Amino acid sequence: MKKKLGAVVLITVIFLFGIFILISKPSNSKDNSLQNIENKLEELEFFILVEGELKDESLRTFRENYKEYKSVFNYDRYDSESILGSTELRAYGIDAENLAEGGLEKYLNDMSKTFEALGIDMTSETNEFSTTNYIVTVNDKEYIIFDSNDMMNSNFWWIASKQFIQILNENLETNSKDERVFIVNAGNNDQMLIFLTVDQKEYLNQITDLNIKSLEEIESAVY
């Protein structure tokens, strides 16, 4: 009887010790509550490009959109003549066809508030635009967006988009900014270009289905 009682006590002690270990062990699971996500975005300085009422609006729309759609970005309008930009000044909708048809200066102008918030001066001029050549000058440097050889490429629109992203990233790097331009829906007509740090990009890919990529990540893909 004593042996049986001792065995029961031993089993009970082991069981309680196991429960204690489980309770005291730090959890590796992520808290994806809305408040926790907002706190993490603040920690990553995701909303740092806006302040005052615009930041309040950015936070409000983020809460509403993420709660309902698991979406971080908010757009107010979209057509070929207006700006498709997110409230916190990080994401822009790009029509690849419009960009390739001489729209680079327009999109740079659309992004002017982001450049201003980052403390970057961006000037641009179209040197030549025709059916065979598209040459621009951005911040006193000339860039070939496409030439006659590119016109034979079935991925012609993507070539122009890629050049645009490279111009943006070159100027971000020249100005010693942590942000780079990443892309969603690369190679398609309706694309999203997003100004993010690497840490911000990685976190957004954890909490959304955007599948944000860098040019390096899609360099080997065929569009």
**pLDDT tens digits, 22-59:** 444 444 334 579 999 999 999 999 999 999 999 999 99
pLDDT of 40 reads 98
Looking from the CA of 18 toward its CB, the CA atoms found within 13 Å total 6
pLDDT of 84 reads 80
Q: What kind and span of H or E run contains 34?
A: helix 34-43
**In which residue ranges of the chain is pLDDT below 70?**
1-31, 75-83, 220-223
pLDDT of 59 reads 95
**196, 90 contact by CB (below 8 A):** yes
The β-bridge partners of 86 are: 75
pTM of the model: 0.83
Give the residue extent of every domain in the chain.
Answer: 34-218
How far is residue 59's CA from residue 37's CA, in Å, rounded to a whole number? 11
pLDDT of 23 reads 44
**103, 95 contact by CB (below 8 A):** yes
Q: Angle formed by the axes of helices 198-207 and 34-43, to 10°?
A: 170
